[in-house]
Amino acid sequence: MDLSLLSDPVFLLQNLIDGLSRGALYAVYAMGLTLIFGVLDIINLAHAATFMWCAITGWLVMAGLGLPLPAGLLAAMLAGACIALLLEYVAFRPLRREGSDRLSTMISSIGMSLIMVSIAEAVFGVETRRFPSSVLNPRPFHFGGLRISPAQILIVAASVVLMAALGYFIRRTRMGKAIRAIAANQKAARLLGIHVEAVIAVTFVTAGALAGAAGILVGLLTNNIVPDMGGQIQLRGLAVVILGGMGNMEGAVLGGLILGVIETFTIAYLPGGSDLKDAVVFLILFLILFVRPNGIMGRKSAERA
């Protein structure tokens, strides 16, 4: 460990900023994942593939059609919503009717993920694509010794807006109340006259749109759009969801920020940190599962959501 770096407050602050903006991304991604788990008890392992397809859609719209960033973001969120809906109809709804367990939904989502990634590889090849630099000025702002890129500002702003919107949607709206009712007890919700299938569809649309936003934001930050980009975020998303407690929205946000900061600090302060960062993520994952199987903010599964 390089001790001289520790005493450098600017370096520390810089890494904190980088870490938080990276963490905001993880949070947006993990919110969709945890929403599906909290409401439907499904680990959607195709969330990463959805995210990847959204980034590619955004790229097609911005680099292919030359449209500006808002259009790309909108298109990606729309694509995410459509893909998530497709997942619900193809992979999850048939299983819900037969009343099967968590493992079978997990396996069917794995199947969908394999198919989606393979199709992307077949159509787009494996080379890296980038958003055109015209969509967002890549030149960073300088404050004192700090370097903050427009992408980082956009990421933090967009995630705050998305989190607030999601919080309002789930807590304050009628549909949000229906979603929470289904999370608490699907059968009872059905008996009370809630159109369960429709509400579940809305839940998937919401989660898909979040994956879409995450896809664009990650594309802006890393400028690296490839069909296997989901693999990187897949495990991190799961780690965040577990860190925050499965199905817990606030937990996902907090967990995402924590993971982002830890990852950035690992790269900055540990020798060979960029090789170690994956190991650190998994180590955290293991530790949490063993110490607190329900996550930091997790409640007992019966009281979940």
Partner 1 sequence: MSGRRWLPWAVVLPIVGLDLFICVRNPGDLDRLLINMILALSAFVTLHAKLLSLANAGFMAIGAYASAIISIKLGLPIAVSIPAAVLLCAGVALVIGMPVLKLKDVYLAICTLGFGEMVRVLIILTPDLTGGSTGANLSTGFPYEAMKQTRTWMLGVLLALLAYLFWALSRSRIGRAFRALRENPQAASTMGIDIVAYRRFAFVLSAMIAGVAGAFYAHSVGSLDNGDFKFNRALDILSYAVLGGSGQWFGSILGGGFLTALPILLREVLGASVGFLKNFAQLPNIINGLALLLVVIFLPGGLASVFGAGRKRPGPAAAGPVRELPDPDKATAPSEAPLLVLEDVSRHFGGLEALGKVGFRMQEGLIYGLIGPNGAGKTTLINLVSGLFPPSSGRILWLGREIQQRPAHRIARAGIARTFQNIQLFREMTVLENVIVGRHTHIRTSLLSTLLRLPREGREERSARADALALLERLGLAELAGQRAGNLSYGDQRRVEIARALAMHPRLLLLDEPAAGMNEIETRKLGAFILELKKHGYTLLIVEHHMDLIMKICDEIVVLNFGRKIAQGTPAAVSRDEQVLEAYLGRD
Is residue 90 close enough to count as binding partner 1 by CB under 8 A? Answer: yes
Please name the helix (run of DSSP H) or strand (run of DSSP E) that holds residue 143, with its range, or none: strand 141-143
Does residue 271 bind partner 1 (CB under 8 A)?
A: no
Q: In the complex with partner 1, which residue's Cβ is closer, 19 or 298?
A: 298
Transcribe 49-72 into DSSP letters: HHHHHHHHHHHIIIIIS---HHHH
Q: Does 115 engage in binding with partner 1 (CB under 8 A)?
A: yes
Burial annotation 143-162 (CB, 10 A radius, 16+ → b, else e)? eeeeebbebbebbbebbeeb
Whether residue 33 contacts residue 44, with contact meaning beta carbons closer than 8 Å, is answered with yes
In the stretch 22-51, what mask flags binding to partner 1 with x, by CB under 8 A?
---------------------x--------
275 binds partner 1 (CB under 8 A): yes
For partner 1, the closer CB: 78 or 90:
90
Least gap, CB of 305 to partner 1 (angstroms): 15
Per-residue contact flags (x/-) with partner 1 for residues 160 to 199, judged by CB under 8 A: ----------------------------------------
Q: Is 86 in the site for partner 1 (CB under 8 A)?
A: no
How far apart, in whole angstroms, are the C-alpha atoms of residue 54 and residue 219? 10
3-state secondary structure of 139: coil
Window of 17-25, 54-62, 93-101, 206-214 that interacts with partner 1 by CB under 8 A = 93-101
- Please give the size of the binding site for partner 1, defined by CB under 8 A: 42
Which one-letter amino acid corresponds to residue 230? G
In the chain, what is the straight-line distance between the N-terminal and C-terminal CA atoms, in Å? 41
Residue 301 carries which DSSP code? Answer: G
Asked if 112 contacts 87 with a C-beta cutoff of 8 angstroms, the reply is yes
Q: If binding is defined by CB under 8 A, does position 218 make contact with partner 1?
A: no
* Residue 107 binds to partner 1 (criterion: CB under 8 A): yes
Residue 273 found at the interface with partner 1 (CB under 8 A): no
Examine residue 112 and tell whether it contacts partner 1 (CB under 8 A): yes
- Residue 185 CA to residue 52 CA, distance in Å, equals 32
Q: Supply φ then ψ for residue 129, to 5 degrees.
A: -120, 150
Instruction: Tell me: does residue 100 bind partner 1 (CB under 8 A).
Output: yes
Binding-site member from 64, 66, 94, 145 for partner 1 (CB under 8 A): 94
DSSP string, 144-168: TTEEE-HHHHHHHHHHHHHHHHHHH
Q: Residue 239 Cβ, how far from partner 1 at the closest point, in Å?
A: 8
119 is an interface residue for partner 1 by CB under 8 A? yes
Q: Does 140 bind partner 1 (CB under 8 A)?
A: no
CB of 125 to partner 1, least distance (A): 10
Helices (H), the chain: 3-6, 9-40, 47-59, 69-87, 93-97, 102-124, 150-172, 174-184, 186-191, 196-222, 229-244, 249-269, 273-291
Least Å from the CB of residue 169 to partner 1:
26
Answer whether 264's CB lies under 8 Å from 15's CB.
yes
Inter-residue contact 31 to 174 (CB < 8 Å): no
Among 55, 170, 242, 252, the residue binding partner 1 under the rule CB under 8 A is 242
Per CB under 8 A, does 108 bind partner 1?
yes
Contacting residues toward partner 1, per CB under 8 A: 43, 90-91, 94-95, 98, 100-104, 106-108, 110-115, 117-119, 121-122, 231, 234-235, 238-239, 242, 272, 275-276, 278-279, 282, 285-286, 289-290, 293
